[in-house]
Amino acid sequence: MIAQTLFIVALLGYALLLHFTLKAMVFKGKWEYLVFFLAAYLPFHTTFLSILFQATNSTLPIPLFQLAKDLMVIGSVLVFLLYRRKIFEYPFCFQLVDWLFLGFIGLAFIFLLLPLGVASFVEKGLYFKNILIPALVFFVGRNTNFEDFEVKRLFQVIFVIAVSAFAVNLIEALIGSHLQIFTGYARFNYAIYDMEPSGNFGLSWTFETQAMTKRLASFFADPLELASSVLLGFAAGLIWFLTSKREESFPYILVMLCSMGSLFFSSSRAAFGAFFIMLFFIAVIFKLYRLILVGFGLVTTFVIFVVFFASEDFYYFVIDTLTFQNASSVGHVLEWITAIDSIIQNPLGVGLAMSGNSGAVTDEARIGGENQFLIYGVQMGFLGMFLYIFLLGFSISQSIKVFRGTDNVMTARIAFTAAAVKTGLLLPLFTSNAELFAYVAWITWWMVGYAMNEYSKINHGKA
């Protein structure tokens, strides 16, 4: 009964969202409305696929729905080209971030064609698709001009996702079970990815700590994706709180509290660190030195709790984490060493689909995989790694310039959120293939693109 209800709700919600987006894109030429589809659907992507497989007990529809989000992005770009009949007269004004993105994608395309590595051309093509789609999302943002009410609607979607994720976390905690138990997550992974259930809860080791306590994921793919995604909800809630009247601030305080609550439920060490990095970034940007003191106070409180009040298991869990002695931390270090050794021996790269945790990367071919920077370094050499690093760095710095230089409050909110979240994600990028977390990665790339659109107007008066 629960499975049937989940299937009906999921399918109905997907159909309504798809109808709304396609209607706006195809009949009204609003290619920009892709971002509403991505913001509302991506958090549920894996859960939706699991429910679909559980209901149909068939793998046949899964590839189509897996590719649907990518096809929506490609369709948005095609609609843009269709409605811009005089495309060669369109006033493009390339900025540094545009050139870096073009360079990165161009390099990836060259590696797609080069006969390097043991991965097949199909596997390379699938991996290249994973790099290309975020670039197309950036392109859509780069050519988006929203009215204030449309920007507000996007943020409302982000707020609803943040509050809803925490609400599901509370239900999971109340019933003492993961949502994924009811969605067929384990059966889906086994059927599609040949991943057998593992861990003490019949899902995967990602869903538990070393102390064998539950790590919750809400409706996201896993706790790591939830942990990274809450950075988006918190940053968006904070900028609206700081730029709104105090009597209107309660909804944004609620969003921030819910985001922090989900962060605790996910029990991700990298995300906790990322959260404090993001707080420090925000404090510096706004010169909110009290926020730095608050962050320092929270860290001090945590240290006191661990030393004097925490259980022995938790105490040693923290100590082993800081000294890189627990299994997870040791695993990260070994993966880094393997990747660094490969980069040193092959500074020009070993080929696409040879590193990382993407479905296109086979276990036999994989070299390293728990550091996004090193993943690109292994595959596309030092040049690919540094292009990606510069792309992130200038995306953050130029988004900050837009935040400080624009007269439009809504645009400033987008630019701030993009810069804050991209900064916060730097730490998770060191410990995971974080670009695969489509919700937070794609939405923030869209926001960077939107900010660069404004950057061109500020500096050159062109889009």
pLDDT tens track for 194-206: 888 888 888 888 8
Higher pLDDT, 294 or 142: 142
- Separation CA 310–CA 302 (nearest Å): 10
Amino acid at 21: T
In this model, does residue 328 exceed pLDDT 70?
no
| Opening angle at CA 37, ends 33 and 43, nearest 5 | 150
pLDDT tens track for 109-154: 999 999 998 888 999 999 999 999 999 999 999 999 999 999 999 9
Q: What is the DSSP secondary structure assignment for residue 110, as one 8-state letter?
A: H
- pLDDT at site 87: 56
Confidence of residue 249 (pLDDT cuts 50, 70, 90): confident
Confidence of residue 463 (pLDDT cuts 50, 70, 90): low
Percent over 70 (pLDDT), the chain: 89
* Average of per-residue pLDDT across 243-270: 88
Task: Please give the sequence-ordered ranges of beta strands (E in DSSP) within 46-157, or none if there are none.
Answer: none
- Separation CA 8–CA 440 (nearest Å): 27
- pLDDT at site 370: 80
What's the CA dihedral at 288, 294, 299, 300 to 10 degrees? Answer: 130
Give one DSSP letter per residue of 410-440, joined into a string.
HHHHHHHHHHHHHHHTHHHHHHS-GGG-HHH
Contact indicator for 50, 191 with CB cutoff of 8 Å:
no
In this model, does residue 421 exceed pLDDT 90?
yes
70-74, 222-226, 263-267, 418-422: lowest mean pLDDT where? 263-267
pLDDT tens track for 374-392: 999 999 999 999 999 999 9
* Average of per-residue pLDDT across 12-27: 92
In this model, does residue 90 exceed pLDDT 70?
no
Contact indicator for 338, 369 with CB cutoff of 8 Å:
no
- pLDDT at site 230: 92
pLDDT tens track for 332-362: 778 888 889 999 999 999 999 888 877 677 7
- pLDDT at site 356: 80
In this model, does residue 315 exceed pLDDT 80?
no
Higher pLDDT, 12 or 277: 12
Cα 429 to Cα 224, 324, 424: the distances in Å are 11, 17, 9
- Separation CA 195–CA 359 (nearest Å): 11
Amino acid at 436: L
- Separation CA 411–CA 400 (nearest Å): 11
Residue 148 main-chain phi, psi, to 5 deg: -60, -40
Higher pLDDT, 209 or 135: 135
| Helix boundaries (H) for 346-371 | none
First to last CA, the chain: 52
List the beta bridge partners of residue 214: 208
165-169, 217-221, 252-256, 426-430: lowest mean pLDDT where? 426-430
- Separation CA 78–CA 95 (nearest Å): 23
**Mean model confidence pLDDT for the chain:** 87
